[in-house]
């Protein structure tokens, strides 16, 4: 084997052009696939950095519309009775305001969680301690456990930090612990600064329809996720029977912790990019197979001489496979280097500036498998022809080799057809995203994104304890921000149409029989000020907008969108109709006073549970969590003035995500825009490789038939006839490949349309355009050899024969 390897290496070094081309071709295919697999590995496959991570799962509430809803505390307490779980921990991501003396308020990202959080994770503080169940009680929860990164950034790694008191959300909060670095797990938690106890206030702890909690759980030893799912399904069925008003039609899902923060559309997009990158590798393998067949044709006489001198067929076949595997190994190493650079470019856009994709044993194993597969796939055809070579025919062949071998030509043509087919699939997929994203951005979302700035605030309950204090602050914010130079209007809302949320609620319609429990319609609800609609540019269709002067005891009025009005009251006016949240006794009837246009989520491309929306008065429902939206001709210039204005009202209150709305929309669409760029790059790369392969085949065709072309031209045939003959050969292969790939492309588009309904559906114009581009590029690749065929000198061609 070592002798074969040495001989093959020397042979490849004698053909540097072929060798470098082959290595570059495989490096592109393997590098692109390795980078995409690294994305999948980091986001969906790499275990969490906790002990026995396979035992940590997420719990979700499921309905007919979605499978990733948040849960209520009573439902989680019932889930914890399952024999499948060692612990169940409710938690929620949270933001905190840190106000140091003489410094502006700083936002801290964190989470509030039950006291058994660190037991569930299997990680304990390396300094101090975690919080206890008693510290979840109101008044005893003024403690915090900080992250390792926060410890380093804010306190310089001072081990005397335990016991230090910070001013957080207007309260004095004591640091009782510091977590090790591995506890942070940014792919799940995000940028995390601290954990605080989940407060157990009496107004929601016993209510099954107050569903705002996430949950993680640790499985008992020996319990599989499937067994845990069966157990929670049984518990959810019992709850649906015992509490039909709140739990009918709802289940519970047990999912692995890894990748649980990605919604269905993002998971599908992640796997899709990997799957389509595989076509690039297939095209590269086909291209390398074609290169090796051309090399084999030129070496037929040499191989025949060696066989006549006693070399066995097995030895020659082994050399062919060794050559292919050696090229693949070099391509794999170069591909890994290419992937490393691609990953460095992609990581900041997908994970954040401080994160990187994992280069672990799974990635290395993937490179090894891809390299081996590429070597075997591309080396099969040369090895097969070597095994069945006719020694006598080879010895009689001329110096150019047996280029007339029809079977070899058929294989080379089949490889070209496959490359063209794969290229069409890539073009169709990239066209779907490119044109779909363009049409999505061009369509009217129902509100004016340009000219807006937005920022979110969370009022701490310890300072703003009741509705009156929160409402008063809302009015001060609107009054103060409204006086800023350049502000045209301002409004507040608990939800804005940027991305879908978990705010959809079931409701019933007055005067109609109550639907069976679990089959009620659902709608997204948002509490807004009266100026919200004019500020966002949402047009009023019918009726009027409610007043901000309505008090808590006045009748509750709402505005609904057109989809809700059409679905609930077809052919009627919605004005004066009433709805009410189901499963509650404290929500009154809500009277419809106005109908506005639908406002679609600007950053959501996946399926949404419902398109129904209704708006309640923030004055009557003064939440502590809200988003400020401001309209101005220059929203970017207002960012700092707004921040200063809020600081003047409450120096302890940071404004989160204060930016122009267009920047927020671009950020929400970032992963889809990036995927679109990647797929376009894949399509261009695959098309380029296919064009190079077709150029090689047509060039061989021209060399093979040089004598024939010389005779034709000598007998007076116009050069255009020869040109059309050669172009026709290339066009024929292209048409066959396009026809073969068209069925796969159509199937791919249907799958993509179902996965990403937010993008406009199947795009047959895009498919037709992909076919036209494919034909144009491949015919351009045939043009040079075709032109060369028309320049054949008849006398030179005949003398060469």
**pLDDT per residue as tens digits for the range 540-565:** 999 999 988 887 778 899 999 999 99
Q: For residue 391, is pLDDT > 60?
A: no
Q: In this predicted structure, what is the pLDDT of residue 401?
A: 45
Q: CB 510: neighbour CB atoms within 10 A?
A: 11
Least confident span in 198-207, 486-495, 760-769: 760-769
> What is the pLDDT averaged over residues 230-235?
95
Q: For residue 407, is pLDDT > 50?
A: yes
Q: In this predicted structure, what is the pLDDT of residue 536?
A: 95
**In this structure, what DSSP letter does residue 41 have?**
I
Q: Which two tokens stand for residue 427?
A: 């073009």
Q: In this predicted structure, what is the pLDDT of residue 69?
A: 87
Distance CA 756, CA 371 (A): 33
Where does the pLDDT of residue 632 fall: very low under 50, low under 70, confident under 90, or very high at 90 and above? Answer: very high
Q: Which two tokens stand for residue 140?
A: 């005893």
**DSSP string for residues in 418-466:** HHHHHHHHHHHHHHHHHHHHHHHHHS--SS--TTEEEEEEE--TTTS-S
Q: Which two tokens stand for residue 81?
A: 């009775």
Q: Are 97 and 105 spatial neighbours (Cβ–Cβ below 8 Å)?
A: yes
Distance CA 562, CA 565 (A): 5
Where does the pLDDT of residue 609 fall: very low under 50, low under 70, confident under 90, or very high at 90 and above? Answer: confident
Where does the pLDDT of residue 366 fall: very low under 50, low under 70, confident under 90, or very high at 90 and above? Answer: very high
- Nearest to residue 386, comparing CAs of 287, 300, 289? 300
Backbone φ and ψ for 19, nearest 5 degrees, come out as -65, -50
Q: Are 525 and 612 spatial neighbours (Cβ–Cβ below 8 Å)?
A: no
Helix, strand, coil shares of the chain, percent, nearest 5, are: 50, 15, 30
pLDDT tens string 12-43: 667 677 788 888 888 988 999 999 999 899 88
Q: For residue 361, is pLDDT > 80?
A: yes
Distance CA 161, CA 405 (A): 80
pLDDT tens string 414-427: 778 888 888 888 88
Which of the pair, 587 or 338, is modelled with greater confidence? Answer: 338
Q: In this predicted structure, what is the pLDDT of residue 399?
A: 45
Q: Which two tokens stand for residue 264?
A: 């269905």
pLDDT tens string 300-319: 555 555 555 455 555 556 67
Q: In this predicted structure, what is the pLDDT of residue 404?
A: 42
> What is the pLDDT averaged over residues 607-627?
89
Least confident span in 406-410, 631-635, 686-690, 736-740: 406-410
Average pLDDT value over all residues in the chain: 83
Three-state secondary structure of 378-411: HHHHHHHHHHCCCHHHHHHCCCCCCCCCHHHHHH
Which of the pair, 796 or 218, is modelled with greater confidence? Answer: 218
pLDDT tens string 174-218: 999 999 988 888 889 988 899 999 988 766 788 888 888 999 999
Backbone φ and ψ for 309, nearest 5 degrees, come out as -85, 5
- Nearest to residue 403, comparing CAs of 290, 306, 300? 300
Q: In this predicted structure, what is the pLDDT of residue 606?
A: 65
Where does the pLDDT of residue 794 fall: very low under 50, low under 70, confident under 90, or very high at 90 and above? Answer: low
Q: For residue 389, is pLDDT > 60?
A: no
**DSSP string for residues in 303-370:** HHHHHHTT--HHHHHHHHHHHHHHHHHHHHHHHHHHHHHHHHHHHHHHT-TT-----SHHHHHHHHHH
Q: SS3 of 569, please?
A: coil
Instruction: Give the contacts of 718 (CB within 8 A, at least 6 positions apart).
Output: none
> What is the pLDDT averaged over residues 102-121?
88
Q: In this predicted structure, what is the pLDDT of residue 395?
A: 47
Distance CA 547, CA 530 (A): 6
pLDDT tens string 586-596: 568 899 999 99
Q: Are 12 and 19 spatial neighbours (Cβ–Cβ below 8 Å)?
A: yes
Q: For residue 801, is pLDDT > 60?
A: no
Beta strand pairing call for 106-113 and 194-197? parallel
Which of the pair, 63 or 399, is modelled with greater confidence? Answer: 63
Which of the pair, 389 or 570, is modelled with greater confidence? Answer: 570
Q: SS3 of 32, please?
A: helix
Where does the pLDDT of residue 755 fall: very low under 50, low under 70, confident under 90, or very high at 90 and above? Answer: confident
Using alpha carbons, list the distances in angstroms from residue 59 to 256, 264, 297.
9, 16, 61
Least confident span in 11-20, 197-206, 387-396, 645-654: 387-396
> What is the pLDDT averaged over residues 160-180?
91
Q: Are 251 and 154 spatial neighbours (Cβ–Cβ below 8 Å)?
A: no
Half-sphere exposure of 761 (CA within 13 A, CB side): 2
Helix (DSSP H) and strand (DSSP E) numbers for the chain: 24, 21
CA dihedral 728, 733, 735, 741 (to 10 degrees): -170
Q: SS3 of 251, please?
A: strand
């Amino acid at each position: 084997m070592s002798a074969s390897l040495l001989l093959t290496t020397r042979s490849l070094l004698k053909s540097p052009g072929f060798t470098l081309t082959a290595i570059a071709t495989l490096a592109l295919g393997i590098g692109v696939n390795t980078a995409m697999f690294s994305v999948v590995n980091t986001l969906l496959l790499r275990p969490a950095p906790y002990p026995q991570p396979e035992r940590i799962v997420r719990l979700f509430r499921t309905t007919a519309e979605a499978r990733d809803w948040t849960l209520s505390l009573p439902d989680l307490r019932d889930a914890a009775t399952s024999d499948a779980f060692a612990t169940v921990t409710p938690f929620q991501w949270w933001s905190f305001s840190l106000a140091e003396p003489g410094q502006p308020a700083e936002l801290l990202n964190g989470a509030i969680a039950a006291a058994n959080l660190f037991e569930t994770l299997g990680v304990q503080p390396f300094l101090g301690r975690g919080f206890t169940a008693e510290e979840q009680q109101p008044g005893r929860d003024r403690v915090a456990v900080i992250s390792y990164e926060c410890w380093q950034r804010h306190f310089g790694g001072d081990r005397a930090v335990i016991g230090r008191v910070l001013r957080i959300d207007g309260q004095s909060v004591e640091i009782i612990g510091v977590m090790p670095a591995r506890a942070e797990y940014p792919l799940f938690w995000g940028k995390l600064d601290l954990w605080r106890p989940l407060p157990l206030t009496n107004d929601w702890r016993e209510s099954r329809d107050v569903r705002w909690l996430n949950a993680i759980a640790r499985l008992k030893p020996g319990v599989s996720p499937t067994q845990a799912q069966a157990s929670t399904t049984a518990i959810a069925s019992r709850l649906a029977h015992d509490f039909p008003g709140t739990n009918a039609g709802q289940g519970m899902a047990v999912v692995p912790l890894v990748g649980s923060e990605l919604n269905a559309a993002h998971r599908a997009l992640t796997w899709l990019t990997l799957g389509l990158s595989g076509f690039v590798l297939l095209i590269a393998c086909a291209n390398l197979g074609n290169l090796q067949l051309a090399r084999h044709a030129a070496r037929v006489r040499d191989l025949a001489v060696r066989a006549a001198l006693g070399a066995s067929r097995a030895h020659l076949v082994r050399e062919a496979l060794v050559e292919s595997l050696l090229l693949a190994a070099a391509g794999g190493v170069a591909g890994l280097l290419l992937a490393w650079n691609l990953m460095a470019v992609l990581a900041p856009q997908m994970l954040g500036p401080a994160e990187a994709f994992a280069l672990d044993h799974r990635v290395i194993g993937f490179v090894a498998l891809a390299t081996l597969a590429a070597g075997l796939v591309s080396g099969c055809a040369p090895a097969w022809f070597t095994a069945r070579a006719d020694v006598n025919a080879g010895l009689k062949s001329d110096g150019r080799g047996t280029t007339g071998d029809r079977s070899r030509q058929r294989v080379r043509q089949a490889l070209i057809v496959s490359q063209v087919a794969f290229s069409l699939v890539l073009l169709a997929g990239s066209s779907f995203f490119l044109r779909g994203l363009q049409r999505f951005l061009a369509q009217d979302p129902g509100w004016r994104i340009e000219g807006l700035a937005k920022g979110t605030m969370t009022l701490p309950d310890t300072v703003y304890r009741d509705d009156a204090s929160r409402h008063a602050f809302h009015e001060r914010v609107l009054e103060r921000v409204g006086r800023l130079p350049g502000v045209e209007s301002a409004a507040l809302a608990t939800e804005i149409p940027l991305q879908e949320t978990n705010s959809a609620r079931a409701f019933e319609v007055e005067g109609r029989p109550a639907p069976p429990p679990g089959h009620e319609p659902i709608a997204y609800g948002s509490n807004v000020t009266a100026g919200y609609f004019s500020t966002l540019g949402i047009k009023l269709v019918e009726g009027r907008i409610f007043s901000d002067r309505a008090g808590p005891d006045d009748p509750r009025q709402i505005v609904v969108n057109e989809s809700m009005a059409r679905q609930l009251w077809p052919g009627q006016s919605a004005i004066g109709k009433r709805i009410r949240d189901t499963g509650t006794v404290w929500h009154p009837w809500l009277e419809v006073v106005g109908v506005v246009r639908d406002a679609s989520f600007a950053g959501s491309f996946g399926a949404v549970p419902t398109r129904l929306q209704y708006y309640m008065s923030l004055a009557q429902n003064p939440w502590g969590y809200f988003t400020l939206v401001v309209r101005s001709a220059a929203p970017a210039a207002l960012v700092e003035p707004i921040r200063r204005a809020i600081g003047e009202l409450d120096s302890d209150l940071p404004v989160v995500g204060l930016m122009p709305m267009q920047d927020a929309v671009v950020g929400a669409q970032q992963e889809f825009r990036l995927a679109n760029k990647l797929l376009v790059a894949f399509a261009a790369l695959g098309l380029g490789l296919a064009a190079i392969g077709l150029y090689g085949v047509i060039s061989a065709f021209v060399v093979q038939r040089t004598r024939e072309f010389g005779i034709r031209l000598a007998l007076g045939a116009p050069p255009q006839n020869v040109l059309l003959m050669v172009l026709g050969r290339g066009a024929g292969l292209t048409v066959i490949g396009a026809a073969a790939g068209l069925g796969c492309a159509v199937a791919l588009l249907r799958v993509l349309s179902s996965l990403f309904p937010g993008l406009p559906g199947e795009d047959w114009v895009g498919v037709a355009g992909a076919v036209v581009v494919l034909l144009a590029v491949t015919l351009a690749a045939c043009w040079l050899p075709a032109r060369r065929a028309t320049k054949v000198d008849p006398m030179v061609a005949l003398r060469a024969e």
